[in-house]
Structure 1
Amino acid sequence: MSTLALLSIVILMKYRLLIIFILSFLGGTSLYSQRAVAPGDSIPGAVSETAQQDSTALADSTAHKKQGLDAVVTYSAADSIVMTAGNWAYLFGDGNVKYQQIELTAENIEMNMDSSLVFAKFGLDSIGQEFGYPLFKDGGEEYESKTMRYNFGTKKGYITDVITQQGEGYVTAGRTKKMDNDVLNMVGGKYTTCDEHEHPHFYIQMTKAKVRPKKNIVTGPVYLVFEDVPLYPLGLPFCFFPFSTTYSSGIIMPTFGDENARGFFLRDGGYYFALSDYIDLALTGEIYTKGSWGLAARSSYRKRYRFSGNFDASYLVTRLGDKGLPDYSLAKDFKIRWTHTQDPKANPYQNFSASVNFSTSSYDRNNTNSLFNMDATQNTKGSSVNFTQRFPNNPFTLSATMNINQRSSDSSISVTLPDISVTMSRIFPFKRKHAVGAERWYEKISMSYTGYLRNSIDTKENLLFKSNIIKDWKNAMQHQIPVSATFSVLKYLNISPSFNYTERWYTSKTEQEYDLQQKRMVARDTTYGFYRVYNFDASVSASTTLYGFYKPLPFLGDKVQMIRHRFEPSVSLSIAPDFGSSRFGFFKDYTFRDEYGQNQTVTYSPFDGQMFGVPSRGKQGLVSFSVNNNIEMKIRTDKDSTGVRKISLIDKLSLGMNYNMAADSFKWSDLTVGLRLKFSKSYTLNLNMVFDTYTYGYDETTGRPYKIDKMRWNSGKGIGRLRTTGTSFSYTFNNETFNKLFGGGKSKSDSQNNSSGTGTEDGLNPEEDGTSEDGQKSGGRLLGKKKEAGETDADGYLVSKIPWSLSFNYGLNLNYGTFNPKKMEYNYKLTHSLSFNGNIQPTKNWRFNFNATYDFDTKKISYMTCNITRDLHCWQMTASFIPVGPYKSYSFSIAVSSSLLKDLKLDKRSNYRDGQQWY
């Protein structure tokens, strides 16, 4: 072809495009080329649009009238746009077509300029790898496929190898027809929660299905495929998958299994009620073939900036053994758990909170839903509900509490309802409102008030609701009024006098008599009425603070700058009358004739056992001595010649002792010593010690030791003998522990700086901007091979880490044990307690953890649990077992990780009752 001929063809093509543009403008078409990403390669153009559909693509959309589109269609391409004589536009390299809220992106796009048809497909690189899969967006929905043919006029399309995310799962299909109402009709579809879309580990094969995006999926016959192995026996004639963007009501599928003791069961099945945006409710039940059954209700509620909480109630009927045989037992138990927390911003003056954990004593032993029930080993439980009201610009605070304490070992229960306290914070009643001049001495006098009103009972669980509110319940009220002041004398001495008054109101008193058979005082008669029991005391204390400084001699160097000793001595005197005197009437003398015919007199109080006790007998003239010590040292740091660092040598060393001048005997108290040492910021040693200051004798007749009114220092045995002490400490070893000790590891900051990707020069990870190593755009696409990401160092090598930790807690207590008549001293009894736990992650997907308790008396591990977890990508494998102790058992489960298919699992477990031996 000659040059002239080529020039003529080019001129004709230009005029052709001009003619098309004019016709398009006159015809009102909206097809218009907005932009071309690669300048010079794009050829803008527009043609008249018809509504006639491509019969080869969509057989049901033919013979329509020609009509224009409702909006502008814009298109672009990163590489080039080629227009042909057949009114086809070819977009190469990241092509993009937009129409209203519809957007189509693909590596290759073919667009008919005379119709509303568009065809998209993937591209191939130099080695035959697929990339640039078509991505179709319609509002909030996205569909990714290998090929797609779509009609903008009818909004219908034909898709091959489509993939879309619905809820927590993914839907794929070989052939799909998209309808104008966004419904997808599929043949040979798959539903899975595995994100390995092209080769999932498992999926539900759907012979045919209708997908309503964000609503549901309705299928024909389905069956499960696991690792490419079809499980035809696990098929269903149809299936329904609902989706919802908000929480809604629905059925809770039960789990099934069997136990030797209670038989086959269906458990934890019921219905979930989405009551409102603030509260929900789940009603579940369980039933066993041997007669046991149970019901449960769980609810969570939350209102932002107001309150939040959880409520859990259950009722359980347990039948064990065969009726009519000795091993038959029937237990009816219930449990209530309730936690309520009020947001501090809701009301600064009012607060309501609850922490209820109440259950019958046998509930936790019969509730075996979990592998090991920690509550079954708890001997005590506590529940409380508290309401507090503070008044603005007022010193008074009102608090009401309900407390329930249980002891499972003997089914005893202690209930306090109500427990009301009224507190008045400290006030200065004599302080002038408009003070002029210096503060007067009486203006320093302060007082406060605390009042308690309690109603309680100690009984058994089965007798609680049969008790009498007057005869069985104890009720009382107590008032406490302390008055105090602090004065400075001689500038450095603080004098603090105080006066304390306590009054108790009781509604009953009990007269006692001596029982010769039991050889002790027993209750004889209880009288109900109003009784006042009071006591008061006065005291004065003096305290000051002394400082001592010591600078080491110069020839010892200047490393230690200064040593400081803070010494805080304190002495106080408190006096009180003898409230055991007959003029107060709080104590009585009872005279009886013993078995030997001798007259004996016993002093007792009719108010013994009452809620707030009784005043102490005997005069009190108590002198108390106490000292606190603190020793610190300042040393020069090596990093900075001018800087110093403070080190605590003895954080606190306290000693205290009392002397009762009014007592007839045993005037000295035990010596109490407290020691606190700070070894580091994370570890502090606390020791509280009590030293016995008296000697002992031994009664050969009764075989019992007794205390002698003779001080140890008078017998040459020192100031005192250690009676009791104890401490506990814990520590955790992990990867960083050895890095700090041996300096072989890098700090966290260094690790983070060196693990920012593959170590490119600009420090960026190629995948952070959506580009993979081969230059393809990832952008969160579903199709395509997934790259296994891993942490790398600055040189691009994969960082291999094995996180682990080992923690232990050790407790030590030293107390008096048995008495040694030869030495006339008590032998020591040492008790230990040790608990430890650990975890390790040898690989990215394997995890192992355990916790155990060691019993030093039996010299063996009393309790231990172990857990192994394996992340199988879209599945989760867990194994738990208790290898020792009375609760020896195991549990094994393989389940889908997604909560949507949580019932798709294999569960195998044993019951601790199966391993028990019955004699």
Structure 2
Amino acid sequence: MRTNLFHIVLLSFVLTLGSIRVSAQEVPAKKPAIPAVQQPDSIPPVPVTAVIADTTKIVTDTIKPVKKNGLDAITTRSADDYEKLDQRKKTLTLYNKAELHYKDIELKAGIIIMNYEKDEVFAGRIKDSLGNYTQQPNFKQGTNVVEADSIHFNTKTKKARVWNSRSDQGEFTVFGEVTKKENDSVYFMKNARFTTSKNKTNPEYYFKARKIKLVPGKKVVVGVTNMYIADVPTPLGLPFAFFPMSNTAESGIIMPTYGDSNSRGYYLQNGGYYFALSDFYDLTVTGDYYTNGSYGLRFETNYAQRYKFNGNFNVRFENIVNSERGFPDYSRQKNYNIQWSHSQDTKASPNSRFSASVNLGSSKYFQQSLTTVNVGSTLVNNMNSSISYSKTFQTVPQVNLSLSATHNQNTQTEVINMTLPTLQASVDRVYLFAPADASKKGLIKNINLQYNLRGENRISTYDSLFFKPQMFRDAKSAMRHTIPLSTNFKVFKYFSVSASTTYEETWVMNTQQNQYLVEQDTVINRDVKGFDSFRTYNFSSSIGTTIYGTFNFGEDKKIQAIRHVMRPSVSYSYTPSFDQYYDTYQLDSSGLNYASYTRFANGVFSAPGQSYSNNIGLAVNNTFEAKVRDDDEKATEPKKVMLLNNLNLSTSYNMAADSLAWSPVRISAGTNLFKEKMNINFGTTLDPYAINNSGQRIDTYNINNGGSLFRLTSANVTMSYSVTSEDGKSGAGKDEDSQTARNGGRTDDLFGRATDLADSRQSLFNEDDEDEDKKKKDDSKGGFYNAKLPWDLRFAYSLTYVNNSRENRISGNSIMVSGNVDVTPRWKMGFSSGYDFVQKGVTFTQLRFERDLLSWRMDFNWVPFGDNTYWGFFIGIKSSVLSDIKYDKRKVPDQTVGN
């Protein structure tokens, strides 16, 4: 009784004043000290000094240290209803919205019971007024969070037992009937379920395993496992499985897809290995194999370093075999494609920059590829590449230097043009008669001088000769120096005048010589290696002004005013004849027929002209804008509406020409309608001269030949319209980073959406996932039929008319349409089609269907007719961890080698 009384008194002092030292004559032996609630440790043992009354000797009796029990770190706690301390049971009870924080452990529950003598903590639910369990325990240790019905753990050994636990491990949510925590890194579970579903209370699918070993953030190892869909077991199962759970990239095997092809047999496709080489770059190696001998290899890497650069590099090779050896349709083709994209952060180096955009390879790669159905890329006739480095020298005047390599490849003619390399240098403007810090006004002070240098090593070859010795033997090199001298000033206050003269000197390493061979009676063109040069100059000037006109209709009108801005200009250019660079050669054996030529023809840069020109150019640019009353009551100013973005007219007159001095008049116009959602552009060419019966222009005005003032030789109209149901906004659907856009194709889906056979999990419509709560709300309101149907629509129309030689025909007349609509919140449909009115046939047509199955995705893609006939069906799990759980069936077009 005395001992208990001592502890009660001691605890009162501790809770009030904190920890104190105590000296006494009687100390209970081997009794654990009661820890103060706000202190991290139990009461330490204290030495007891006994004073003997009848002697002067002081005896010191040191008590042996008491075994340390209780918590070894500061503990904070809170509860809404009460906190109960039971000294007899050595427990502390927290009730209703209880919280306990100890070291890296954070525990929240309806009720928490802590036994500080045994270092154990219990957490569970409580019942509300209706008798329902609420406030489930939430256990957090580090980054690992576990929700459960009840938890029992030991703060010393770190062991725990959890009933009906729920925790997130990467993309997985793991449910365990009984979970045993061995230490900070190992959990064992019984009758566990794991899923990637976002619905934790009622997942639409899950995998049920009898036993699981879980290492948070690293791996999950399961025993016998079955798949359940809507709580219904399926025959799909595994005897065991291993799932990596790392938060960082990990190397691993990429499982292939199997199938069959009519012309290549059975196949394994897109199998390989992913290498997580570092935090800055990775490597993916995949390949395909067909039973008829076709195969493909792909190497893809992405790299990035923050605030410096980022990019990716792809190399693809395919050996395509059609049919079987011995059959008449047997053929073999080797195709490759190299893509490299590199972008430098502007903060990395303000005065220098390196960039790369490379897309080169076999001309027929995208037409015959084994792993992509990309109509947009097959319709693009050019592949382009560019690698460049530029540097700015902060001198006075400033100097700019760049070095680049370019590549252009026509996929139809298979002609390749490259520059390896191109050197460009320039010196900034130097004002000859004005100080650097003075204003530049007037004719003299505005006189400035520049210097530009451009050097090229140009190669023209064919796909079959790419990177072969002949390709480099045919290279041509040249360098051009350009010095422009210019000035500008105003006259009569409103007229702007500019004048310039340019001197150019060109150095070449290749010239040509035309020679008639009497023995063979033919003219040969011989390539001559060696240095040569020529010099040219020209003069040009222009004068222009801006005229403003406003037509007011009154503020009470819907259209209050129209504003017309006109910019007329007159230009003059003079280029002399450079006959000194021209020679003659014999055409035949008669010795009477000769022709002139320049040895600098067919060079890197344009050859010097033999005839001089003395041109006067006329141009008028117009814009029309309207001021319209705004019906919005909150608006204080009228709206400005652009009627015509541009209406341009231009022509020229050559005073040095002895005939056909006037050039055709070119007229172009463009505008945007319907809140700038429709874009219309128009262009036409009008020729003032007539033509003869052979269709050739003659030096007779058309009006003097019985016709009109101008003869319409060509015209074209293009229109595009894009709109969505969302507040009348312009239609979406553009993908700037798609493979089609990277190859120079359209960024929208007017030519359909590309199907990447290597990754069918991605949405056809490439849209962000909607919020799950919003989808549930829409489902509950609209049911299967939803009154709100989000949609987007795009169309493009093109019309081309030609009449150069009295053809009087429409050479092109086609319309393309594409659209997408959400039939229900989780059903999407899309289409792309068109019609060619000249060829009288339907253009490329694609139908797309997609179903959002929450954690799964299902789609059907169909091209019903044409050269690219295709259909594909896919259903699979969205999560990348379970990407191999899918069904993918397709019928790809049988590409024919040589198409």
Which TM-score band (shorter chain)? 0.7 to 0.9
166, 169, 176: which one aligns with 2:169: 166
- Residue 713 of structure 1 deviates from its aligned partner by 3.2
Aligned to 1:9: none
User: Using a 3 Å threshold, how does the CA distance of structure 1 residues 195 and 129 change in structure 2: closer, same or farther?
Assistant: farther
User: Using a 3 Å threshold, how does the CA distance of structure 1 residues 678 and 371 change in structure 2: closer, same or farther?
Assistant: closer
361, 369, 376: which one aligns with 2:371: 369
Moved more, 458-467 or 371-380: 371-380
Corresponding position: 1:323 with 2:325: yes
705, 730, 738: which one aligns with 2:695: 705
Secondary structure of 1:615 counterpart:
coil
For each residue in 1:611-637, what CA deviation from the matched residue of structure 2 results, as whole angstroms up to 9, or x when unmatched? Answer: 222233333222223333445565676
Secondary structure of 2:845 counterpart:
strand
Secondary structure of 2:692 counterpart:
strand
Listed as ranges, the matches of 1:522-601 within 5 Å are 523-547=524-548, 565-579=564-578, 581=579, 584-588=580-584, 590-592=586-588, 600-601=593-594
Aligned to 1:757: none
Q: Distance in 1 between matches of 2:474 and 2:394?
A: 39
Aligned to 2:109: 106
Secondary structure of 1:365 counterpart:
helix
Q: Distance in 2 between matches of 1:846 and 1:510?
A: 66
Corresponding position: 1:801 with 2:801: no
Aligned to 1:200: 203
Aligned to 1:760: none
Residues 372 and 887 of structure 1 are in contact (CA less than 8 Å); yes or no, is this contact kept in structure 2? Answer: no
Corresponding position: 1:722 with 2:709: no
Aligned to 2:63: none
Aligned to 1:624: 617
Q: Distance in 2 between matches of 1:302 and 1:161?
A: 42
For each residue in 1:75-133, what CA deviation from the matched residue of structure 2 results, as whole angstroms up to 9, or x when unmatched? Answer: 54323456779636654423334443334333244555764444333234455533222
Q: Distance in 2 between matches of 1:690 and 1:334?
A: 43
Secondary structure of 1:664 counterpart:
coil
* Amino acid across the alignment from 2:320: T
Aligned to 2:147: 144
Q: Distance in 1 between matches of 2:634 and 2:137?
A: 64
- Residue 558 of structure 1 deviates from its aligned partner by 7.8
For each residue in 1:754-782, what CA deviation from the matched residue of structure 2 results, as whole angstroms up to 9, or x when unmatched? Answer: xxxxxxxxxxxxxxxxxxxxxxxxxxxxx
- Residue 471 of structure 1 deviates from its aligned partner by 4.7
Corresponding position: 1:418 with 2:408: no
Residues 70 and 116 of structure 2 are in contact (CA less than 8 Å); yes or no, is this contact kept in structure 1? Answer: no
User: Using a 3 Å threshold, how does the CA distance of structure 1 residues 179 and 790 change in structure 2: closer, same or farther?
Assistant: same
* Amino acid across the alignment from 2:619: S
Q: Distance in 1 between matches of 2:603 and 2:188?
A: 79
Secondary structure of 2:377 counterpart:
helix
Aligned to 1:132: 135
Listed as ranges, the matches of 1:895-914 within 5 Å are 895-913=876-894
User: Using a 3 Å threshold, how does the CA distance of structure 1 residues 522 and 201 change in structure 2: closer, same or farther?
Assistant: farther
- Residue 714 of structure 1 deviates from its aligned partner by 3.0
Q: Distance in 2 between matches of 1:75 and 1:547?
A: 77
Listed as ranges, the matches of 1:802-821 within 5 Å are 802-816=789-803, 819=805
Secondary structure of 2:604 counterpart:
coil
- Residue 576 of structure 1 deviates from its aligned partner by 3.1
- Residue 299 of structure 1 deviates from its aligned partner by 0.9
User: Using a 3 Å threshold, how does the CA distance of structure 1 residues 617 and 132 change in structure 2: closer, same or farther?
Assistant: same
Aligned to 1:689: 684
Aligned to 2:746: none
Listed as ranges, the matches of 1:2-151 within 5 Å are 18=8, 21=11, 29=33, 67-71=69-73, 75-81=77-83, 87=89, 91-112=94-115, 115-151=118-154
Secondary structure of 2:80 counterpart:
coil
Q: Distance in 2 between matches of 1:546 and 1:199?
A: 71
Aligned to 1:353: 355
Secondary structure of 1:305 counterpart:
coil
Q: Distance in 1 between matches of 2:639 and 2:99?
A: 66
For each residue in 1:223-257, what CA deviation from the matched residue of structure 2 results, as whole angstroms up to 9, or x when unmatched? Answer: 43344344456322x32222212223333333333
Q: Distance in 1 between matches of 2:416 and 2:440?
A: 57
Q: Distance in 2 between matches of 1:603 and 1:508?
A: 19
Aligned to 2:743: none
Q: Report the identity percentage.
A: 32
669, 694, 701: which one aligns with 2:663: 669
* Amino acid across the alignment from 2:389: F
Corresponding position: 1:876 with 2:877: no
Alignment root-mean-square deviation, CA: 4.1
For each residue in 1:140-172, what CA deviation from the matched residue of structure 2 results, as whole angstroms up to 9, or x when unmatched? Answer: 322222233333444333322222222211222
Residues 506 and 534 of structure 2 are in contact (CA less than 8 Å); yes or no, is this contact kept in structure 1? Answer: yes
213, 221, 233: which one aligns with 1:218: 221
Aligned to 1:743: none
For each residue in 1:438-481, what CA deviation from the matched residue of structure 2 results, as whole angstroms up to 9, or x when unmatched? Answer: 96743332232333212222222222333447751222222333
**Structure 1 unaligned regions, length at least 5:** 1-11, 36-45, 50-63, 699-703, 741-784, 820-824
Corresponding position: 1:386 with 2:376: no
Secondary structure of 2:577 counterpart:
coil
Secondary structure of 2:464 counterpart:
helix
Q: Distance in 2 between matches of 1:739 and 1:503?
A: 54
Secondary structure of 1:790 counterpart:
helix
Residues 434 and 440 of structure 2 are in contact (CA less than 8 Å); yes or no, is this contact kept in structure 1? Answer: no
Aligned to 1:399: 402
631, 655, 667: which one aligns with 2:649: 655
For each residue in 1:738-757, what CA deviation from the matched residue of structure 2 results, as whole angstroms up to 9, or x when unmatched? Answer: 699xxxxxxxxxxxxxxxxx
For each residue in 1:260-311, what CA deviation from the matched residue of structure 2 results, as whole angstroms up to 9, or x when unmatched? Answer: 3223322222222222222112222222222222222111111122111110
Listed as ranges, the matches of 1:263-278 within 5 Å are 263-278=265-280
- Residue 313 of structure 1 deviates from its aligned partner by 0.8
475, 483, 502: which one aligns with 2:485: 483
- Residue 385 of structure 1 deviates from its aligned partner by 1.0
Aligned to 1:332: 334
Secondary structure of 1:465 counterpart:
coil
Aligned to 1:175: 178
Moved more, 239-248 or 682-691: 682-691
- Residue 354 of structure 1 deviates from its aligned partner by 0.7
Q: Distance in 1 between matches of 2:626 and 2:144?
A: 69
Residues 23 and 47 of structure 1 are in contact (CA less than 8 Å); yes or no, is this contact kept in structure 2? Answer: no
Aligned to 2:740: none
409, 412, 419: which one aligns with 1:409: 412
* Amino acid across the alignment from 2:532: Y
For each residue in 1:862-912, what CA deviation from the matched residue of structure 2 results, as whole angstroms up to 9, or x when unmatched? Answer: 212232222212222222222222111111122112111111112111121
- Residue 220 of structure 1 deviates from its aligned partner by 3.1
Using structure 1 for the length normalisation, give the TM-score: 0.79
Q: Distance in 1 between matches of 2:77 and 2:271?
A: 54
Corresponding position: 1:857 with 2:838: yes
Moved more, 93-102 or 444-453: 93-102
Aligned to 1:41: none
Secondary structure of 2:824 counterpart:
coil
Q: Distance in 1 between matches of 2:219 and 2:166?
A: 16
For each residue in 1:681-715, what CA deviation from the matched residue of structure 2 results, as whole angstroms up to 9, or x when unmatched? Answer: 625544332211111111xxxxx322211012333
- Residue 312 of structure 1 deviates from its aligned partner by 0.6
- How many residue pairs were aligned? 813
Aligned to 1:6: none
Residues 628 and 654 of structure 1 are in contact (CA less than 8 Å); yes or no, is this contact kept in structure 2? Answer: yes
Secondary structure of 1:900 counterpart:
coil
* Amino acid across the alignment from 2:658: D
Using structure 2 for the length normalisation, give the TM-score: 0.80
Residues 28 and 68 of structure 1 are in contact (CA less than 8 Å); yes or no, is this contact kept in structure 2? Answer: no
* Amino acid across the alignment from 1:618: S
Residues 104 and 136 of structure 1 are in contact (CA less than 8 Å); yes or no, is this contact kept in structure 2? Answer: yes
- Residue 341 of structure 1 deviates from its aligned partner by 0.7
- Residue 338 of structure 1 deviates from its aligned partner by 0.2
Aligned to 2:738: none
Secondary structure of 1:675 counterpart:
strand
Q: Distance in 2 between matches of 1:878 and 1:649?
A: 43
